[in-house]
Structure 1
Amino acid sequence: MDKLTHFNAEGRAKMVDVGGKAVTSRVAAAEGEVRMEPDVLALVRDRALAKGDVLAAAQIAGIMAAKKASELIPMCHPLLLAGIDLSFSVNERESKIVIRAEVKTCGQTGVEMEALTAVSVAALTVYDMCKAASKNMVIGEIRLLSKSGGKSGEYLSS
């Protein structure tokens, strides 16, 4: 395992200098889920909640969050993002919504944090939109699925 890079010689936090790194095409995908009661999931699926279209709101929230990742995560670099896409799948059997985000850039550092932030905030938005119907929801399984580009190359979760 590589040493942690967000500490200076005195052991204090620092933002990593990426100035000498090559500009490359970088893509990251992340996934998470929101588990809920079947009747609430049906309301989401049917767009029948009083607050409106839950997944449309979560989509916009996730996109906005990816763009703001560096404002939320202290050592995250501000990046010019080339593309952000979120998708949602309703899993009736397991009574959950699976959220997937893919973020792209051409830059000197990766977009893993942006993809993870997009999924996290989209999940929180689903919770917020549904909490009047039931607070019995669980957000979880947020993880990096894949990343490409940069010095460390390809990553695909197992």
Structure 2
Amino acid sequence: MKLTHLDEKDRPKMVDVSDKDDTTRIAVASGVIKMSPDAYEMIVSEKTKKGPVLQTAVIAAILGAKQTSSLIPMCHPLMLTSVNCDVDELPELPGFKLTVATKLRGQTGVEMEALTGVSIGLLTIYDMAKAIDRTMVIRDVMLEEKSGGKSGVFKRT
């Protein structure tokens, strides 16, 4: 199997997508951050010293999705048409699940943008709550679904 990010001399390259058709491309990714009950309660009640943690994490997730090509070397700069974020409270964990959905009409997928958005959003929660709990764990960052393009639809079961 030939890797698409290597040329004939095994040098890194960005994949040429110029001959691909424009299609609507959607990706949804998610991840979880587990924390102490004290950190969870302070975030939910908005009593952290750094301000509204979850709202800031959503803004960071959107920014992360938009900056993916600056962070991951072989990703194309994309004109995202939509980035939507949801934060679910998980009191039984305790922690939060962040879900990011990205969309565009173009020649390449938006999976990396959704995954980067989730990662940056969760890292922002960690950053804003680390004074309360340095034992937080970011886990289960994954692609939930994608559609568009030649490879079709993927849905995690």
Q: TM-score range by the shorter chain?
A: over 0.9
* 1:15-60 Cα deviation digits (max 9, x unpaired): 0000000000000000001100011101111111111100011010
Unaligned runs of at least 5 residues, structure 1:
none
Map of 2:104 onto structure 1 = 105
Equivalence map 1:1-158=2 (5 Å):
3-158=2-157
**What is the identity, as a one-letter code, of the residue corresponding to 1:35?**
K
Identity %: 45
Using the size of structure 2 for normalisation, the TM-score is 0.98
2-side partners of 1:41 and 1:90: how far apart?
A: 9
Q: CA RMSD in A?
A: 0.8
Using the size of structure 1 for normalisation, the TM-score is 0.97
1-side partners of 2:77 and 2:84: how far apart?
A: 18
2-side partners of 1:41 and 1:9: how far apart?
A: 51
1-side partners of 2:32 and 2:148: how far apart?
A: 26
1-side partners of 2:78 and 2:90: how far apart?
A: 33
Does the 8 Å CA contact 2:61/2:121 hold for their aligned counterparts? yes
**What is the identity, as a one-letter code, of the residue corresponding to 2:18?**
G
2-side partners of 1:25 and 1:3: how far apart?
A: 27
**What is the identity, as a one-letter code, of the residue corresponding to 2:68?**
A
- Superposition deviation, residue 3 in structure 1: 3.8
Unaligned runs of at least 5 residues, structure 2:
none
Does the 8 Å CA contact 2:38/2:132 hold for their aligned counterparts? no
Large movers: runs of 4+ above 6 Å: none
2-side partners of 1:3 and 1:88: how far apart?
A: 39
